[in-house]
A = this chain, B = another copy of it.
Amino acid sequence: MLSIGDFSQLGQVSVRTLRLYDEIHLFKPARVDRSSGYRYYSVEQLPRLNRIIMLKDLGLSLEQIATLMEDNLSADQLREILTKKQMEIEKELQENEARLARVEARLHQIEQEGQLKNYEVLLKTVEPQMIVSARQLVPTINDMYYSRCKLFSAIYNWFDQRLIEPQGNEFAIYHNTEYTEQDIDMEAAVVTDAKPPKNKTSVPVAGENVIVRELPGAREMASITYQCRPPDVGQAIVALYSWIAENDYSTDGAYREIHLYGRELDLKNYDPITIEMQVPVKKNAG
């Protein structure tokens, strides 16, 4: 018979651990002295302790181990638990690899610029939303502000005529698949809880009037939330697309800008604004 101290040395576990395993009925001393409460162990108990340590080493919880040991290690159950654990570890490995890539991208960025930028690219999930929208081909980049205001005007008229209220922020959605400074296919939109009409196509066409449609969500949306004055959004857009390339993603839908500051029509010139730039993305294969 060995004292708890001797046995803990033999088994390479702490005394505290042995007391814990006793408490949770996972591994009990061979004998406990009635009067002193001293725990005594025998060397024949070592294989069982080692089995516990081995299973813990595989990443199982003490509760899982207790279940397995009680059931006398049914092979099927064990296989099931180990297979599950295997998947968990593989998932963790992938997450850590992605995390490592992100840390390295940040370090790389610090090397180049000496500091962090004053905005961050985040990945988020966005649910689908009902929007009231109007779409137009904008001749040149200089007409953009004016065109957008006209579209928002039309949208708010639509609300006023129906005596209902918008339910959320303004969006500007850009449908061009490549960068262009003319014939920009822009959709202005406001979130609503109105129901869509049944007999109409759900995607507006440039030049058409105000319609109701569902704006698709995105499982992975790259996003920058940024404070600036209106002309300064370009820098952040560059950052957003650089991030996407550096982190091995590709765009997977139309770029959107969300006006977190309220209505563009109410904006005074050069008021600072908070906007969120979003683009759906997907991880590149392989």
Binding site for B on A (CB under 8 A): 10, 12, 43-44, 46-47, 50-51, 53-54, 57-59, 73, 75, 78-79, 82-83, 85-86, 89-90, 92-93, 96-97, 99-100, 102-104, 106-107, 110, 114-116, 118-122, 124-125, 225-227, 260-261, 274, 276
A59 and B261: CB pair below 8 A? no
Residues of B within 8 A of A75 (CB): 110, 114-116
Q: For residue A135, give the distance in angstroms from its CB to the closest CB of chain B.
A: 26
B102–A57 CB distance below 8 A: yes
A276 to B50: give the CA distance in the assembly, Å: 11
5 example contacts (A-B, Cβ-Cβ < 8 A) are as follows A46-B274, A47-B118, A53-B122, A59-B99, A59-B103
Whether A116 and B44, one on each chain, are in contact in the complex, defined by CB atoms closer than 8 angstroms, is no
The complex places the Cα of A8 from the Cα of B243 at a distance, in Å, of 25
Closest CB in chain B relative to A123 CB, distance in Å:
8
Partner of A122, one of B54, B78, B115, B122: B54
A12 to B225, CA, bound (A): 12
